[in-house]
Amino acid sequence: MRNSLVAALVSCADQPLKSTARRFLAGLSSDELQFIAEFLGSCVLESQVRCARNRAEIAERIARFQQARADRARMRSTDQELKMILLLEYLCRSGVQEFSMPARAAGPSVN
């Protein structure tokens, strides 16, 4: 499963950044890879593509995603802050910034 997650996440990266993304992802645990994949999946399900303008905007989207995820799970793991940092680093290193922040971590859109 780990190799499939890495391959899927690398395929999301912009072409010139794929090798950088692969090196970054190779050092992550399966749990960290799943966290990144869940964020990207929730963005795709929302299907409201909007380009992020800067790192701060991406960080804000990640924080909202994590809050929605924590609200849904009703518990907060001790490594959630690290996962948020890793997600931000992946998005910036891979060029994957053209995703909107989902209104919720899972489920139908609330539009």
Q: Does this model's pTM top 0.75?
A: no
What is the radius of gyration, based on Cα positions, of the chain?
A: 13
Cα 106 to chain center, whole Å?
13
Amino acid at 86: L
What is the pLDDT, as a whole number, of residue 46? 62
What tokens were used for 5? 């997650």
What tokens were used for 67? 């809050």
Q: CB within 8 A of 79, min separation 6: which ones?
A: 31
| Contact predicate 19/66, CB 8 Å | no
Tens-place pLDDT, residues 39-59:
888 777 665 545 556 778 778
Domains of the chain, residue spans: 2-94
